[in-house]
Amino acid sequence: MRVLGIETTCDETAAAIVSIERSGESRILSNEVLSQIAAHAAYGGVVPEIAARAHVEAIDRIIARAFAHADLKPGDIDAVAAAAGPGLVGGVMVGLTAGKAIALATGKPFIAVNHLEAHALTARLTDDLAFPYLLLLVSGGHTQLLAVRGVGDYLRLGGTIDDAVGEAFDKIAKMLALPYPGGPSVEREAAKGDPERFDFPRPLQGRPTPDFSLSGLKTAVRLVAERIAPLSDNDVADLCASFQAAIVDVMVDRTRAGLRACREAGITPTTLVVAGGVAANQAIRSGLTRLATEAGLPMVAPPLALCGDNGAMIAWAGLERLRLGLVDDMSAVARPRWPL
Ligand code: KG4
Ligand code: ZN
């Protein structure tokens, strides 16, 4: 089975073709991602209208490239999957409409994929990963702990009560005049800095409920940055390193609470999984690997290329749903908000 996946919920125009053999072996036949970073960099964040227009301009070309690199024609696929949300509605409509058009033209089934579900299932594309697992989903818009019991069967254990982790990285970067997108910039600076120079708060540490709060940490960084301004290159690196150290401690502590909540809900996870754009962060990956070892569980994170938004994760989620007969029709609508 081969599925085309289309992703346009934020600032990546992406299309991919993923296949699965009868043996269960999955393969990424193509994975085209066009990042709009340059178009948004001047604004320090994603501008929805610019994003939607850029998706319109790029979508046909990116889908054509996905077919060309897989050496396939539209008639060769078994279904079309497109992200229908959550995300910026203008962009979502572009990908959703393109997906429906290809499904109609080829007569193949159409699957409207939840972008968060795609992040949640991506680790199963590259790893032999059995349900149920505990998932830390960390992206620019979401920070959640979920027990993933099966396709379409998610128990939300906790989430952020204010900022998402990626959002906190992006805001710190903006505050320190580092290039957009903020996560990779902060991680790069942190590698050069002293993580112990500033003792930033670890919000909600030790609380039994697996929730997150990051706005206080962000404010603490801002207050220190204002106090020691003007900032030298060393100051910026030390602020990033100390911020990232606090974030890692928070992720580990809150995920530990998530493991406990999972078991209290009668669910014994096979694995600890981290996914979403922030899962690319090496310090967070290392912290979670330490936690998994402590809990006697394996830790799985998607390869770096599949952490940020991409078409392969949408195609894979489409395949997982197709195998269960979970297909949609042309009435599927764009859903700016769509909780799992
Ligand atoms: O999943 P994603 O590509 O888009 C959303 O669905 O939001 O995640 C993007 C987020 C951005 O906030 C970006 O700054 C963050 O992931 N990010 C990182 C890293 N790479 C991307 N955060 C921390 N460290 C990184 N290396
Ligand atoms: Zn995402």
Distance 279 CA to ligand 1 centre (A): 8
pLDDT over threshold 90, residue 43 = no
Assign 305 a pLDDT band (cuts: 50, 70, 90).
Answer: very high
Give residue-wise pLDDT tens across range 160-205.
Answer: 999 999 999 999 999 999 998 899 999 999 999 999 999 999 999 9
End-to-end CA distance of the chain: 26
Q: What is the pTM of this model?
A: 0.96
Distance 87 CA to ligand 2 centre (A): 9
Q: What pLDDT, on the 0 to 100 scale, is given for residue 113?
A: 98
The domain defined by 2-122+306-323 folds into: Nucleotidyltransferase; domain 5 (3.30.420)
Neighbours of ion ligand 2 (CB under 5 A): 139, 309
The domain defined by 130-301 folds into: Nucleotidyltransferase; domain 5 (3.30.420)
Domain layout of the chain by residue ranges:
2-122+306-323, 130-301
Q: What is the mean pLDDT of the chain?
A: 97
DSSP notation for 226-280: HHHPSPPHHHHHHHHHHHHHHHHHHHHHHHHHHHHHHHHTT---S-EEEESGGGG
Starting from the CA of residue 166, give the closest ligand: 1
Give residue-wise pLDDT tens across range 225-256.
Answer: 999 999 999 999 999 999 999 999 999 999 99
Q: What pLDDT, on the 0 to 100 scale, is given for residue 35?
A: 94
Angle between helices 165-175 and 182-190 (to 10 degrees): 70
Q: Return the closest-CA partner of residue 240 out of 281, 208, 211, 206.
A: 281
Q: What pLDDT, on the 0 to 100 scale, is given for residue 115?
A: 98
2-122+306-323 shares its CATH topology with 130-301 = yes
